[in-house]
Amino acid sequence: MTRRPMRRVLVANRGEIALRIMRACRDEGLETVAVYSDADAQAPFVRAADQSVRIGPPAPAESYLRIDALIAAAQATGADAVHPGYGFLSERAAFAQAVTDAGLIFIGPPASAIVAMGDKTSARRLMAAAGVPIVPGSTKALTDPDEAAKVATKIGYPVLVKAAAGGGGKGMRIVRTPAELPGALTTASSEALKSFGDGSVYLEKYIELPRHVEIQILADQVRTIHVGERECSIQRRHQKLVEEAPSVAVSAELRERMGAAAVAAGVAVGYRGAGTCEFLLAASGEFYFLEMNTRIQVEHPVTEEVYGVDLVREQLRIASGLPMSIPEGPLVPRGWAIECRITSEDPANGLLPSAGVIQWLRAPAGPGIRWESGVESGSEGTLYYDSMLAKLIAHAPDRARAIAVMQRALQELMVVGVATNVPFHRKLLADPDFQRGDIDIQFLERRPDLMAASDDDAAIERIAIAAALLAEDQRISRRVSAPAGAANAGASASAWTQLARRDGLR
């Protein structure tokens, strides 16, 4: 390693993950550069950086997705490395390559590893050759319906038609009988062409009611290791809402087998840094490789909490040519961690993103709580980016206590000004099926009751707003110390406090 030292990192992202990366940089003595669109000029992550560069208007295509503008910003600020975060350009091989070609360090895997995992049929061939279990099906794109019918008969119905260029569930079709197959091939292919510019499709056996379990890996120049699993079955329309580590469905023995498969997957593509192998875990206990995410993931904190590792710090070390700081030998999960994604999705409006100003935010705190957010009181929500406001992570000695800690934190949490999915999280955490860990990827589809807005939510929200206004009023009264105003505020405070207590609001 004759590489010059890494000193200054440009963070090619926004929001909570930009802040998370900058905090890790600070811990390591690295300087930081933020890039921002006009929508983010006042955002906390911009203020947190040592330097910042405006890259364009709010639309991602004109700002966070502009490879040329990002590389120009890195060069103008003297950055020597680029961290892509998640989303945006994080899994574009062309970006990794452009960063490297500009003489900068890409804090992520080699572009070749991104390419190898990008095409699903070639990834399936590579994985099968590396001994990683894949779902039975074809390992080549299918163009001939007769050939597809033969494959389907061989693996048995139901089957799933998938896009070769896909991921995230676009262009998928479940086929339960031979008669439906030709139509499904046609519609899946045209959807794939529209979404990915590539109409290639292939077949897999459809796995009924699996769990979504993923394995975190880390690879430096010498070692590739796994850092256990995350259970990610609580999702809606391919958007994860709650993740946990470990999984109730994974024994120490299964963890080692899934971990070994994920490590083999990483080794097969020459992986470096932090990556994740997604698996379907069937009710039978069999597991199958789905795809590999070649980036840091939203839900990385649950792994960090139970394994006591800082995954972003390890990314920085590995990118700068240092070995990972994790001692050799088996890693053991300590306790249980759960993450709730707090989004500005309005349950009273079909869970559509709600924009507006966060007039008031009270973040939870206390033992076992971690709050990862890119917003604060006064932040303005935009509809240009994803609707996640924050991640709330609870860590405790066991799952039941992690749920209790999360419930306490969800009681403390208050967001005024934009509707959020906090009422959903409160209902989910109190649900007996969830508490038993009795979940699979279709759990939320079966439970519209958890997703629906209730009158209770509305009442709690109104009281919260009243309490927030009152708190503000009290602050003003204290500042001006008007005797009459102060007396009034005192009297109504006790009435509101009583009402809030009665409604379990505190």
In this chain, which stretch among 161-169, 266-274, 312-320, 329-337 interacts with ligand MV4, using CB under 6 A? 161-169
Please identify, among the stretches 108-116, 206-214, 223-231, 267-275, the one whose residues bind ligand MV4 according to the rule CB under 6 A.
206-214
207: contact with ligand MV4 by CB under 6 A: yes
Taking contact as CB under 6 A, which single stretch among the options 36-44, 167-175, 247-255, 339-347 is the one that binds ligand MV4?
A: 167-175
- Catalytically annotated residue among 295, 317, 341, 426: 295
* Binding-residue total with ligand MV4 (CB under 6 A): 16
Q: Is 370 a catalytic residue?
A: no
Per CB under 6 A, the list member of 227, 290, 319, 450 interacting with ligand MV4 is 290
Kindly identify the residues of this chain, within the stretch 123-142, that bind ligand MV4 according to CB under 6 A.
Answer: 135
Contact 80, 7 (CB under 8 A): yes
Tokens of 414: 């208050």
78 binds ligand MV4 (CB under 6 A): no
Nearer Cβ to ligand MV4, position 248 or 463?
248
Is the CB of 134 or the CB of 471 nearer to ligand MV4?
134
297 contributes a contact to ligand MV4 by CB under 6 A: no
Q: In the window 185-204, what residues touch ligand MV4 (CB under 6 A)?
A: 204
Site string for ligand MV4, 317-356 (x = CB under 6 A): ----------------------------------------
Q: Which stretch binds ligand MV4 (CB under 6 A): 83-91, 205-213, 268-276, 323-331?
A: 205-213
State the pairing for strand pair 105-106/81-83.
parallel
Which residues are within 8 A (CB) of 34 and not within 5 positions of it... i.e. 6 or more apart?
A: 11, 18, 22, 45, 46, 48, 49, 51, 52, 53
Query: Smaller CB distance to ligand MV4: residue 403 or 441?
Result: 441
* C-beta of 124 vs 255, nearer to ligand MV4: 124
Residues counted in the chain: 506
Q: Are 289 and 261 in contact (CB under 8 A)?
A: yes
Among 16, 291, 299, 339, binds ligand MV4 (CB under 6 A): 291
Q: What is the DSSP string of 51-79?
A: EEEEEESSSGGGTTT-HHHHHHHHHHHT-
Q: Considering beta carbons, is residue 16 or 231 the nearer one to ligand MV4?
A: 231
- Give CA–CA dist 147/149, Å, rounded: 5
Q: Tokens representing 287?
A: 């597991």
What HEC string does 303-336 produce? HHHHHCCCHHHHHHHHHCCCCCCCCCCCCCCCCE
Provide the minimum distance between the beta carbon of 158 and ligand MV4 in the complex, in angstroms, as a whole number: 9
The angle subtended at Cα 187 by Cα 185 and Cα 191, nearest 5°, is 115
d(CA 121, CA 116): 10
Site for ligand MV4, residues 248 to 277, rule: CB under 6 A: none
Q: Which of residues 440-499 bind ligand MV4 (CB under 6 A)?
A: 441
Burial bucket for residue 397 (CB in 10 Å: 0-12, 13-18, 19+): exposed
Cβ 229 vs Cβ 213: under 8 Å = yes
Measured CA angle at 375 (ends 53, 452), to 5 deg: 135
Give the nearest distance from C-beta 263 to ligand MV4 in angstroms: 20
Is residue 168 near ligand MV4 by the rule CB under 6 A?
yes
Binding segment for ligand MV4 among 7-15, 165-173, 176-184, 475-483 (CB under 6 A)? 165-173
Answer whether 383's CB lies under 8 Å from 59's CB: no
Return the number of the residue (160 or 390) whose C-beta is nearest ligand MV4.
160
Q: How far is the CB of 80 from ligand MV4 (least distance, A)?
A: 35
Judged by CB under 6 A, the residue of 14, 124, 212, 255 near ligand MV4 is 212
Query: Are the beta carbons of 303 and 217 closer than 8 angstroms?
Result: no
Residue 217 has a CB neighbour count (10 Å cut-off) of: 23
Q: Determine which residue in the list 116, 117, 127, 160 makes contact with ligand MV4, applying CB under 6 A.
A: 160
DSSP state of 284: T
Q: How far apart are CA 89 and CA 69, in angstroms?
A: 12
Counts of helices then strands in the chain (DSSP H, E): 18, 22
| Beta carbons of 34 and 45 less than 8 angstroms apart | yes
Token representation of residue 170: 């676009």
What residues are annotated to the active site? Answer: 295
Q: What are the residues binding ligand MV4 (CB under 6 A)?
A: 135, 160, 167-169, 204-207, 212, 235, 238, 280, 290-291, 441
